Structure formats: structure tokens, C-alpha cells
Amino acid sequence: MVEQDRFLVEVLYGTQMPAGGCSGCAGCGTTCTPDDQDANQSSVSDNYQEATRMMEMELHKVFGDRVEVRYVNVDDSGLDEYPLMKRVLVMGYPYPITLINGKPKFAGAIMTRDVIESLQQEIK
């Protein structure tokens, strides 16, 4: 296997679905009013953004500058740059979704340990 020089890890979060619509109130399973939902989505997004920063620090400890980490709010940026995401979302996988070099790998949480293991496998 060819050794990968650099890795791009992207954590995508949002409510955007391929055909429009909502993924629920931050995935919490409760019934919310639209105002509650907006507030909850913002709070959850902030938490995932912070968790992504923490994952970035851990990945840099292990891989140095060989890894770049990005947090992407698809409600702001859209899904146009992520064509595979439409299929992933239709299959029912929840946000956040972690991509490694553009390929969806993990869904539903920030999984730092799993990302590290996946990157180590790519290097071998």
C-alpha cells in the first residue's frame, strides 16, 4: 500500500438532507417548536465544533502536520462539495459525519480514537 503523505479529516454537521427537511431536533428525539429547534441546533453545532477542535489537537499529537482537520456546517456551505453525503444521509446515517480524504467513515459522534486507528491503517 502506498503511504499517504497527508490526510484531510472533515467533520460535517447540519440539518440539511438531500431532499430537504429536518433530521429532527438535533437528533435528540424530542418534540420542539421551530424556535427551540433553531436554538438546540446552534448549541449542538457549537458542541461538535469544539469536539472537532479537541480531535484536531489529538490528531496533531499523533500525526503532526500530516493531518488537516476541518469542521463544516453544511447548513451554511451546502452539500455540493460532498456528493457521497447525499447517499449517506438517504441511508439514514446521522450527523456529525466524519470524512477522511473525502470518504465518509464515521457517523453520529466525534470518534477521535476510531479516526486515529483508521489513519494508522492507511499509513501501514
Range of the domain at 65: 7-123
- State pLDDT tens for residues 72-88: 999 999 888 888 888 89
pTM: 0.76
- CA angle 91–106–16, rounded 5-degree value: 50
For residue range 48-68, what is the model confidence (pLDDT) as tens digits? 999 999 999 999 999 999 999
Evaluate whether residue 46 is within a structural domain. yes
**Is residue 39 a part of any domain in this protein?**
yes
Q: What is the 3-state secondary structure (H, E, C) of the chain?
A: CCCCCCEEEEEEECCCCCCCCCCCCCCCCCCCCHHHHHHHHHHHHHHHHHHHHHHHHHHHHHHHHHEEEEEEEHHHHCCCCCHHHHHHHHCCCCCCEEEECCEEEEECCCCHHHHHHHHHHHHC
Query: What's the total number of domains in the chain?
Result: 1
Residue 111 lies in a domain: yes
Residue 1 domain-assigned (yes or no)? no
Does residue 2 lie in a domain region? no
> Has residue 24 been placed in a domain?
yes
CATH number, residue 97? 3.40.30.30
Main-chain phi, psi angles of 98, to 5 degrees: -100, 125
